[in-house]
Amino acid sequence: MPDVYKTILEAIHPHLGARAVAVLEEGLKRLGKRPSELTPEDGAHLLKGLVYRELQARMRPEEARQLVEGVLAQMEGQGARLAKLEQGLKRFGLYVDWPEVARLRALVNRLRQAEDPGLLQEGKTLLDALEEKLEEALLRQAKDLAHLEEALERVRHLGGPKVRRLESLVETIRQAQGEGVLAQAEVERARSLALELRKFLESSAVRSPTLPEIVFETQETPPPSHLTDEVFLTVEEASELEGELLVDLEALSQEASQRILALEVEEEKRKLEALLSRYAPLVERATVSPLLAEVQALLEAGTPVGEKLQTLEEAFQEAEKNLRAEKRARLIQLQEALRQLPLPEEAKDPVQKALELAEETLEEGGYPDLLPLEEELRRLEEEARRKAEEGKRLLAEKEALVEELKEKGEAFRPLLLELTALLPEALSQKLPEIRTRYAALLKAQGEEAALRAKLEEAQKALEALKAQALALGLGERIAQAEALLAQGSLPDLEELRSKLEEAKAQARGEALLELSRLQALAERFRGFGGEGVLRAIAEEKGKPLPDPTPIARALEALKRRMEVKREELTTRLTAFFQAHARLEGFQSETNRRLKALLPVLKSAQEKLPRLGPQGLLQVERTLSQAEALLRELEKEREAAKAVLQEIRGEDLEALLGVFDQGRTPAQAKPPEAPSTMDLEADLAPLRLPGVEVLGYLGEALPLPREPLEAFVQALDQLDKSLGQTRGPAAILLGEKALVLALRKGRILVALLEKTSLSAFLLELTS
């Protein structure tokens, strides 16, 4: 069991200083225990209570939380932490195409075989990233669900197997969203089906009416579904077809064609967003980036890309296949190079295990980062080269010293014989001692000048190495060399140079590992400033001795910026819902479009504390769209208020008298006014998607009354001259349709989208 007290104290002392001991002493008093008696459960209690509150006073809450979580993980045993990873893998194992899941699976498999604190920490980091990624994906799915529910309401009246299939898919997605699970395949099928039905619905009115602007339907005319193609087509029969509903854009009006193209562009933008999310590590591949830029430019210009999107997906898939092949080939090369290194197996074992883990990650579907492995192998190669050169150097130094000793007197002969008898494998241990004894003999024999020259040469060489050696943590060896020089002995500077090269290689390897970790974090900040950090990481990796510190600072700045954005969105969402509550009762097409976004924004408001940078960007885009619609809704309400103000003082009796002109006394008798409840129940079946205004003439409608009255009078006179009683009449106003119909003795007025006209007339006459 770990020493809980020591673990906590070592973790919090750098942040609390002397206060750390006082906080823990207070906690021990409350628990009634001594430091040695603390259990992991006691430690967790202290960390989540006293310690966490104290840390919050010294650092940001998010940093304090991360520190506490890190100490809790330290106190847990390998088994408990591995169990958490296995539980996380079970949860995320559904998403087999996520590279992070592949890496987590490989980590868990390796940790089941042996303990490794570094891999445990990486697994925890991966779980945090997966949680963030899932929340972002669920937010996208919520947006897809809102879009599909809106589309379903638009096409529900069509009926048929395709609509029923769409209803079933939407229900499946709704259940998955409630359970916090992604239904990726169902979303794709539902979006494709919804687009198909929406396109056909938009094309259901294929021609303008043959009369100047007005279309009449007499009571003797067949129902709208049997009208000729010169007026309006409905899609009831077409929706019964099992095959694809084909729409000929050339046969449609320019407005209808533009609406259908807009639907296609919207769907293609969503598909492109999904592709970029899935293949984010591949967007800069040479076989992908030109085509991606072309597709993005076309969609931004409002032009459907058609098959280019499929071509782009195939390019991504091919790039992924090539990337895997490249990594697999490189892994084989690295394994072979490691096998041939003339080093002991225990020296090569850590790299061998890392290569096996990378290979398993690749097999599971992930993208292992091979650069740290390449650097580690390069370090081992350099170590093998240094050892070989060190052997040669020691032999050369032995031979040089032997020749030098031969020229000395008899006093140096014993040292010469000892040096000559040294075996090569003993040189590294014995040669420094012989060198020191040689310096002492020189001094004893009165050859101080020769010794002084050697010492001065060694001093200059040491000064040249000192700065770099201190920076790499070799201060102790520098101190030892300086002490030898001060005593008049010669230090082994070649060994110091060898250690310096080894330390440089090790520092580079550690820096590259840290940069790889920071790169994974920076990838999550794409679109949020992470691109600049990724470029800086690439530049830093190319340096002889990379420094991760500036990268870490840049990422911390991005994290702070993310928290500011989170607070900003929290404030904006609160203000949005307050403003919408004041306008909720105002009915219009804008409000209908806005309502489709409300579930997404409510879900976003709940998830906001758990979202990462990509999720926050999604929320901001959706919120900006909703805020624009809200502003438009406010303008519409103000316009409606102005219209109501104009007609508020009018005499309704005089208006009814206008309608009575030219009718028989029986017809002129006004019907008994129904109750408001009865009116609402009577109009309920007619409130179809696309109907913006519905009511009876004489009520407070957001439409100018005088033209409507004049139009009704013209229709009455036309009826009289033709000697027949009319049915519903429609007038086309651009993309809108105005319907006037006699219903239960009153004039019904409806303003709706032209695409909803067929369904409305069918319901009205049924």
The model's pLDDT over 660-688, given as tens digits with 9 standing for 90+, comes to: 444 444 444 444 555 555 666 778 788 88
**Looking at 184-188, 290-294, 636-640, which range is the least confident one?**
636-640
Q: How many CB atoms lie within 10 A of CB 617?
A: 18
Distance of CA 676 to the CA centre of its chain: 50
Q: Quote the CA–CA distance of 562 and 152 in Å, as a whole number.
A: 36
Class of domain 652-765: alpha beta
Q: Quote the CA–CA distance of 54 and 722 in Å, as a whole number.
A: 90
- Note the pLDDT of residue 173: 93
H runs (alpha helix) in 216-304: 236-239, 254-278, 289-300
**Looking at 238-242, 269-273, 594-598, 701-705, which range is the least confident one?**
238-242
Q: Which residues touch 226 (CB under 8 Å, ≥6 apart)? A: none
**Looking at 369-373, 483-487, 517-521, which range is the least confident one?**
483-487
Contact 761, 739 (CB under 8 A): yes
**pLDDT tens for each residue of 198-220:** 888 777 543 333 333 333 333 33
Sign of the dihedral through C-alpha 272, 277, 279, 281: positive
- Note the pLDDT of residue 729: 86
pLDDT of 634 strictly over 70 = yes
Residue identified by tokens 């550690």 is 510
Average of per-residue pLDDT values in the chain: 78
Q: Which residues touch 747 (CB under 8 Å, ≥6 apart)? A: 659, 696, 697, 698, 712, 740, 741
- Note the pLDDT of residue 252: 63
Q: Which tokens is 469 given? A: 């050696």
- Note the pLDDT of residue 529: 84
Q: Which residues touch 576 (CB under 8 Å, ≥6 apart)? A: 601, 623, 626, 627, 630
pLDDT > 70 fraction of the chain, expressed in percent and rounded: 85
Helix (H, G, I), strand (E, B) or coil at 57: coil
Q: Which tokens is 439 given? A: 């310096």
Task: Give me the phi and psi of 730, to 5 degrees please.
Answer: -130, 140
Residue identified by tokens 């206060």 is 19
DSSP state of 76: S
Helix (H, G, I), strand (E, B) or coil at 490: coil
Q: Which tokens is 116 given? A: 């490794």
Read out DSSP for 403-424?
A: HHHHTS-GGGHHHHHHHHH--G
pLDDT of 655 strictly over 60 = no
Distance of CA 56 to the CA centre of its chain: 28
pLDDT of 726 strictly over 90 = no
**pLDDT tens for each residue of 52-105:** 888 887 877 767 887 887 777 777 666 677 888 888 888 888 888 888 899 999
- Note the pLDDT of residue 221: 38
Q: How far is CA 329 from CA 67, 358, 370, 707, in A?
A: 40, 12, 11, 78
Read out DSSP for 636-690?
A: HHHHHHHHHHHHTT--HHHHHHHHHTTS-HHHHSPPPPPPHHHHHHHHGGG--TT
Q: Which has the closest alpha carbon to 705: 714, 696, 716?
A: 696
Q: Quote the CA–CA distance of 415 and 564 in Å, as a whole number.
A: 74
Contact 237, 259 (CB under 8 A): no
DSSP state of 223: P
- Note the pLDDT of residue 443: 64
- Note the pLDDT of residue 663: 44
Every domain of the chain and the residues it spans: 4-120, 409-507, 562-647, 652-765
- Note the pLDDT of residue 229: 34
- Note the pLDDT of residue 637: 80
Q: Which helix (DSSP H) or strand (DSSP E) does residue 736 occupy?
A: strand 736-743
Question: ∠ CA(458), CA(460), CA(466), 5° rounding?
Answer: 100
- b or e along 692-725 (b: 16 or more beta carbons within 10 Å of the residue's beta carbon)? bbbbbbbeebbeebeebbebbeebbeebeeeeee
- Note the pLDDT of residue 239: 43
pLDDT of 753 strictly over 50 = yes
Q: Quote the CA–CA distance of 316 and 322 in Å, as a whole number.
A: 10
pLDDT of 370 strictly over 50 = yes
Q: Quote the CA–CA distance of 380 and 625 in Å, as a whole number.
A: 56
**Looking at 13-17, 342-346, 646-650, which range is the least confident one?**
646-650
Q: Which has the closest alpha carbon to 416: 401, 431, 426?
A: 401
Cα end-to-end distance, the chain, whole Å: 79
Judged by phi (left if over 0) then psi (alpha if -120 to 50, else beta), residue 451 lies in: alpha
- Note the pLDDT of residue 175: 93
> What's the one-letter identity of residue 624?
S
pLDDT of 4 strictly over 60 = yes
- Note the pLDDT of residue 328: 92
Q: Quote the CA–CA distance of 473 and 500 in Å, as a whole number.
A: 9
Question: ∠ CA(45), CA(46), CA(49), 5° rounding?
Answer: 85
**Looking at 133-142, 176-185, 206-215, 565-574, which range is the least confident one?**
206-215
Query: Strand pairing partners for 699?
Result: 697
Q: Which has the closest alpha carbon to 627: 674, 575, 683?
A: 575
Q: Quote the CA–CA distance of 81 and 705 in Å, as a whole number.
A: 73
Sign of the dihedral through C-alpha 202, 207, 210, 211: positive
pLDDT of 649 strictly over 60 = no
**pLDDT tens for each residue of 702-722:** 788 878 888 888 888 877 777
Q: Predicted confidence band at 294 (pLDDT cuts at 50, 70, 90)? A: very high
For the chain, the C-alpha Rg in angstroms (whole number) is: 40
> What's the one-letter identity of residue 159?
G
**Looking at 12-21, 78-87, 489-498, which range is the least confident one?**
489-498
**pLDDT tens for each residue of 601-629:** 998 888 888 888 888 888 998 999 899 98
Query: Taking the complete model, does pTM exceed 0.75, yes or no?
Result: no
Q: Quote the CA–CA distance of 165 and 690 in Å, as a whole number.
A: 22
Segment 215-231 mean pLDDT: 36
Judged by phi (left if over 0) then psi (alpha if -120 to 50, else beta), residue 160 lies in: left
